[in-house]
């Protein structure tokens, strides 16, 4: 019985740790959207990239204009457009980001 309770405790601790880790990942991931200036946005993106690197979290980036995905090679030509960046994590979760300065998209793409 004690072993069963111990196993349940360990499993709950692991699940709670994973949930906290995911919450913090999403909190940081959403920070570029909360920026009020392009400079704040760039700093927030640097934090996002730091977390992604530290946790070895693979991401996929898709840039779209009017719900049409733009090939990476054409993003530079569309910098004056109204672009949306969709960042997808390997666990299937994602979030959308509308850049204040489309140049900041390249901060994500360089990685």
Quick check: 63 and 71 in contact, CB under 8 A? Answer: no
| Residue carrying structure tokens 């196993």 | 7
Please state the pTM of the whole predicted model. Answer: 0.68
* Structural domain containing residue 9: 2-109
Number of domains observed in the structure of the chain: 1
pLDDT at position 63: 93
Helix ranges (DSSP H) in the chain? 2-29, 31-34, 38-54, 105-109
- For residue 30, the model assigns a pLDDT of 65
| Mean pLDDT, 10 residues at a time, the chain of 111 residues | 39 43 56 85 86 82 92 89 88 86 86 59
Q: Which two tokens stand for residue 105?
A: 């998209």
């Amino acid at each position: 019985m004690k072993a069963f309770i111990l196993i349940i405790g360990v499993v709950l601790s692991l699940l709670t740790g994973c949930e906290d880790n995911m919450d913090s990942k999403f909190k940081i991931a959403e920070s570029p959207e909360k920026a009020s200036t392009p400079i704040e946005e760039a700093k927030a993106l640097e934090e996002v990239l730091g977390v992604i690197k530290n946790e070895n979290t693979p991401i996929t980036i898709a840039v779209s204009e009017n719900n049409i995905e733009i090939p990476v090679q054409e993003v530079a030509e569309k910098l004056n457009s109204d672009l949306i960046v969709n960042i997808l994590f390997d666990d299937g979760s994602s979030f959308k980001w509308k850049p204040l300065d489309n140049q900041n998209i390249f901060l994500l793409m360089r990685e």
